[in-house]
A and B are shown apart, each in its own frame.
Chain A
Amino acid sequence: MLIIDCPFCGPRDEREFEYCGPYRERRPDNMDNLSESDFIDYLLVPENPEGVGQEFWWHKRGCGEWLLVVRDTRTHQILSTVEADAE
């Protein structure tokens, strides 16, 4: 079980959060004229690295914010936690 350092609430237990999948690029705006291969890349080829990867976590039972967590899947070390849509 992880401790996730929510930028809004501080370090909180994993049970307050929901894991919401690996990071993927923002959904393309031009979905209707995207090429088939680009669409399939978007839909079915998310990154799944052994090692450092980015993930979406939802602080559902906390502040309700969406977080982008950088985690090493081999050690579970969390390298950073930021707001998901902070651009």
Chain B
Amino acid sequence: MPNKYRLATGGTIDRKVPIKFTFNGKTIEGCLGDTVASALLSNGINTTGRSFKYHRPRGIVSAGLEEAGTFIEVMGRKGTSAVPATIVPIEEGLRIKSINCWPNPNIDFGQVLQMISPLIPSGFYYKTFFKPQWKIFEPFIRKIAGLADIPESEISPTTYDSRDAHCEFLVIGGGIAGLVAALMTARTGKRVVFVDNHMEPFGNWSLPVNENASIRQWVRTLKDELNGYSNVRILTKTMAWGYREQNLVLAHETNGIGQSELVWRIRSSNVIMSTGCTERGLVFPHNDRPGIMLASGLLNYCNNYAVIPGDRVILYTNNNSIKVLAKTILEKGKEIVAIVDTREEGLSDYSNLPGNINIYSGHQVNKASGWNRLRGVIASPVMGGKSVTLRCDLLAVSGGWNPNLQLWFQSGGSFSYDNELATFVPANSVQDVITVGSLAGKFGFVEKINDAVQKISDLITTVGLSTELLQIPEFDIPEDEYSINPYWESGSGDAGSKSFVDLLNDVTLADIKLALREGYDDIELVKRYTTLGMGLDQGKTGNVNASGIISNITGKTLDEVGLIKYRSPVSPVSFGVLGKPEGDIVKPYKTTPITKWNRENGAVLYEAGANWRRPGYYLLRNESMMDAINRETLAVRTGLAIYDGSPLATFEVKGKDAARFLELMFTIPIQDIHMGMGRYGLMLTEEGFILDDGVCFTMAENWYQLSLSTGNVDLVHQHLEKHLKCDFAHMDVSLTNLTLQWMNATVCGPEARTFLQEFDTDIDLSSEAFPFMAIRDGEFNGIPARIARVSFTGELSFEINVRPRDLEQLWGILVKRGNNYGITPIGSETNHVLRVEKGFISLGHEVDGKIDPIDLGLGWVIGKGKKDFIGKRAMELNRTSKLPRKELVGLVSRYPNIQFAEGTPLVASEDHLFVEGHVTASVWSEINQQYVALALLDDGRSRMGEKVNVRNLNGIEPAEVAKPCFYDPEGTKLRS
């Protein structure tokens, strides 16, 4: 019978709208407004999962985020892993699976672990499965461990985003204190953000105060007024999960499984926390049996979902808050078998309850019985005496109430133990934050309101504002003084009966005792040794009990024991919402002005350094990538090609001291570079390693232009800036990054000059007037241009730099007129092949942050007479070591078709796998008709002609060490 445990009336669910979903393959019917948990409970499904370590049957223990019993996996396209069953609203067709059990929660293979549980105490895995046994046990352990599978769908349909908000007042938590705080701050006219994780603030109608008509009416007027303020932003279904420095609060807004998710970064001058409190459980043997739940959870299921999932109810408590539940259950017409209260004075609290209930005051529960379903409890007097066996199928427990200190902890605030309340309450704040309501230890309804009114008035006055006083009507509700007698554990201590302190992580009383016995006497160490308070629920219901138990055992006071530090996030937040936010907005891809042309002409575009999305190669019809690259390289070597070199880093350095500054930044002499000429140089880090390479041109007196690598532009910019501002601030130098101001078309190949001379230009392109490394300003075909004769391909090459707005026109003309020459556009892959053939170095390949100029055979780039430049001293110091240096060499195989893959290690011999280097780049050289490679090899330069061993995937491959240049070693073509 569907919904067997659903009450005939009451609740906020809509019985007229049935919703079907599947749970472990079985169809379940609930109704609109149900969560997975309430739907399962209403159908009498008790065993809803298995525990993490011992695979004991578990049920649902709460009705909210504090859930420690049942975690589910949502399957399908909107799949998500390991969420509490208590917070997932049901939808038609939703597929749900319980976690930690196979094949299902009722017949679980891992149950065998329960039988051997005495053999697997805390630390068992650490103590037992270290090598070499780990390999044997690993597959089994992996199968039974873990919390959920990876979702089936590769790409989640969920949309993720992030937003920033700034305000003067942030109110976290929409209980009555939060609502009062939000309204009072709203009246100041300042910006207020009000965050609540429910459907609406003060929307939890399970609270008995909501049945009071005058309170309902008053709350309605507060909400109506609040909704009218334009300076207030109300974020519902939003959980504040992180509290960072300078009052930055992170909150997660979601519309449910698979819907859009948003992360809010809220920066507020003042934070008002009213995160409320959570009930904790009681620790006794087998306190995890399905059918045992928190009293607050049961109250919520009664009032919101009209479910009481049992016929014979027992209440077990150490405080008087359970009275409300008792009254509610009786009103709904269910039977309460007994109330077990550890307090002697408890009796009087229940005198007003109707009917004939057995009250066991001064009693504790010694043990629960049953396996897949609770069958009963054994209770006995706390002071000792005859025990009594009570049959029941539902046990509601209340171990007292804990303020939700999670965010308070994260804000840096301290806390102290309150004897009256038997729990930890906030003490001193570190940031600009205050606590109100039950979070601050004020548990009575009117008490909370008065607390909020008082503290918010003070706050508003303190920050120099004023507000209209909030009128609080007289409410006709009984305000009972909260009475609790802390009771941290009960029952026999025999090994077979487990008393769980942390349900989620299967941490028992015995585990805590073991940890203390083994010397882990700090609560943080107990946490690490036993996994207490870790995981999805972060110990929301168990941690205070753990502190109490440790205090009992060690004799320390609770203030000395303290509380396990709550960490961020308060509750799990999806990776999607954490990973996505920045994305394309903060770091967008850059494209050059001819991207449209590239797309129309077969370019395969992808990221190639510094967020530039540019052509790797251009595909003609029926071509493979390899065909295209070969065709393009041959065009450069034998004909005419054109390359979009716009992303090259360009800096302008001007000022009286520009040369002096650059002398310090580069390895090369700068002062003697002739006007209109450039010089190849290296830039080192102060640690003596290569940071970048490039060309420094002298444009005019005190005016230099740097043309550097694409990939490192941000790092180099920072490097130059840092030295300029922090070391050489006294110099008269201005540095400007012109990377995006100069776009270029690089015309290269043996026919480049002949071709360019066809155009109308005032720049003399002849080899006499325009030698290698020269730079000239002028007009090219009517376009203002700066042409440089530099080459990264080893061929005759003219880099025609123009304003971004002119590149498309320039490119169009060059391509059109170049048709006669068979002009070929080339991409960055081709450029890579050409530079490897020439042995030109590249960042990330040969330059790996641990390499100096001499290693790469670039000793000639270091100015001999230079007394100082950044990195000189460290480089010299590094070189005093006699250890072998990794030096740049070429590698070739006897067989042209053998490729040594990039990154492959070079080893000493087949038997000795000592690594003496690695392949840094490897390409098919079409002009040489063979694979060629560059490598860094220990003392490589003195080993020319030697054989080395390349450890390819399928074995050792011999290679010959060669000069790192496979084309035009004299550079005659380059300079032609």
Q: What is the interface of chain A, defined by CB distance below 8 A to chain B? A: 1-3, 13, 15, 18, 20-21, 26-27, 31-32, 34, 36, 39-40, 43, 56, 58, 60, 65-66, 75-77, 84-85, 87
Contact = CB atoms under 8 A, between A and B. Distances in A.
A80 to B, nearest CB: 15
B963 to A, nearest CB: 34
Contacts of B687: 43
11 contacts: A2-B245, A3-B267, A21-B722, A27-B728, A31-B868, A31-B872, A32-B868, A60-B718, A66-B726, A76-B245, A87-B729
Contacts, number: 63
Given A26-B726, A43-B874, 9 more contacts: A3-B267, A15-B586, A27-B727, A31-B872, A32-B868, A36-B877, A60-B718, A66-B726, A76-B246
A66 B872 contact: no
A75 B868 contact: no
B725 A31 contact: no
Contacts of A40: 877
B246 A3 contact: yes
Nearest to B717: A60
Contacts of B867: 31-32
Contacts of B244: 1, 76
Contacts of B873: 31-32, 34, 39, 43
Q: Which 4 A-B pairs have the closest CB atoms?
A: A76-B245, A85-B729, A66-B725, A27-B727
Choose among B430, B723, B873 the residue with the greatest number of A CB atoms under 10 Å from its CB: B873
Nearest to B735: A64
B248 interface: yes
B168 interface: no
Contacts of B686: 27, 43
A26 B727 contact: yes
B248 A1 contact: yes
B725 A18 contact: no
Interface in B641-688: 686-687
A39 B727 CA distance: 15
Nearest to A39: B873
Contacts of A75: 245, 412, 430
A10 to B, nearest CB: 13
B916 interface: no
Interface in B723-752: 723, 725-729
A60 B868 CA distance: 29
A87 B872 CA distance: 28
Contacts of B246: 2-3, 76-77
A66 B721 contact: yes
Interface of B: 164, 244-246, 248, 265, 267, 412, 430, 586, 686-687, 718, 721-723, 725-729, 867-868, 872-874, 877
B411 to A, nearest CB: 11
A18 B267 CA distance: 20
Choose among B265, B267, B729, B877 the residue with the greatest number of A CB atoms under 10 Å from its CB: B729
Contact of A84 (B267, B718, B726, B872): B726
A35 B722 CA distance: 24
A45 to B, nearest CB: 13
B245 A84 contact: no
B830 to A, nearest CB: 33
B727 A66 contact: no
Contacts of A2: 245-246
Nearest to A33: B867
Choose among B265, B721, B723 the residue with the greatest number of A CB atoms under 10 Å from its CB: B721
A58 B412 contact: no
Contacts of B872: 31
Contacts of B412: 75
Choose among B244, B245, B267, B721 the residue with the greatest number of A CB atoms under 10 Å from its CB: B245
Choose among B722, B725, B867 the residue with the greatest number of A CB atoms under 10 Å from its CB: B725
A60 B726 CA distance: 15
A40 B718 CA distance: 23
A31 B877 CA distance: 13
A21 to B, nearest CB: 8
Contacts of A21: 722
Contacts of B722: 20-21, 56, 58, 66
B718 A18 contact: yes
B721 A58 contact: yes
B725 A84 contact: yes
B729 A27 contact: no
Contacts of B164: 13
B726 A56 contact: yes
Nearest to A56: B726
Contacts of A15: 586
A63 B728 CA distance: 19
Contacts of B245: 1-2, 75-77
Contacts of B718: 18, 20, 58, 60
